[in-house]
Amino acid sequence: MSNFWTRTITGISMVLILLAALWFSGWVFAGIFMVITILGLWEFYGIISSENCHPQKYFGTFAGFLIYVMATLVYLLPWTLSTEEVTWLAGISCVIPIMFFFISFVIEIYRNKPNPLINIATTTLGFFYIALPFSLLVYFSRPEVLHFLRMPVILVGYFAFTWIYDTTAYLFGKQFGKHKLFERISPKKTWEGAIAGAVVTFLAAFGLHFLVIERPLTDWLVLAFIVVFFGTHGDLVESLLKRSLNIKDSGTILPGHGGILDRFDTMLISAPFVFLYFFLHQPI
């Protein structure tokens, strides 16, 4: 089977799994992304480990997992808790990342590994680069947010725009791409693919506005912009990381795509900005 069809089958399978999870409940969706978070953290610490870099792989994965779990509880439990319980839960969820950050310093004392500063930095980087973005997505799966066909519309729109942009940019760039987007970091990405992906994504934003009229057009256009701009840079960041490590893929768990980071790289940078826009600017 060619890599194109392998990639297509894997991509469609992932789309169906995520949509099914969103249709069932926010808890099912959170559970799937909890697994993705754990696998992503393990993969990240695995590829950056070397003779000069020894991240705290087990601690980092556990810490990122717990950060994700606490964020999930803060987002999905408040409607069943009292105000005091919500305040306590939110406070704990804010303290835990800070606590883990300083614990990583203490752990490094007892490891006797070279380059302790690099080890601590790469360990804590996993918290913010992987666990935090994925945990923020759960915010949009809460029961009280606007749903369409039993699925939270912001998440569906975010995933749809991301898939549309990635797929269009990949196919159009492969067929018609001539001008390199950022050759120093990612030689295969082209301006033709990026522009085509952006155009189709913004057209999808207009279409989604007419399908879900409860959300203003501005929201969908901003969401499309975040996906196009920050998603592209998320892809480039991961390409930069892989190029610095001299590897082609971050893993092999997803046939045709590579690893977890290869598949979700655009979301790692774009998800926090989606959260900030809707949390600070627009109630959902």
Evaluate if pTM is beyond 0.85.
yes
Query: What are the 10-residue block averages of pLDDT along the chain, 284 residues in total?
Result: 67 84 90 95 94 94 94 79 67 83 95 94 94 92 83 92 92 86 85 94 94 90 96 92 86 76 91 91 61
Q: If residue 55 lies in a helix (H) or strand (E), which one and from where to where?
A: none
Query: Left, alpha or beta for 256 (phi > 0: left; psi -120 to 50: alpha)?
Result: left
C-alpha distances (whole Å) from 279 to each of 14, 84, 227 are 27, 22, 17
Q: Estimate the crossing angle of helix 3-24 against helix 153-176, to 10 degrees.
A: 170
35, 73, 81 from 85: Cα distances, Å:
27, 11, 6
Structure tokens at 94: 């804010």
Sorted by sequence, the CB contacts under 8 Å of residue 227 that are 6+ apart come out as 158, 161, 162, 165, 201, 266, 270
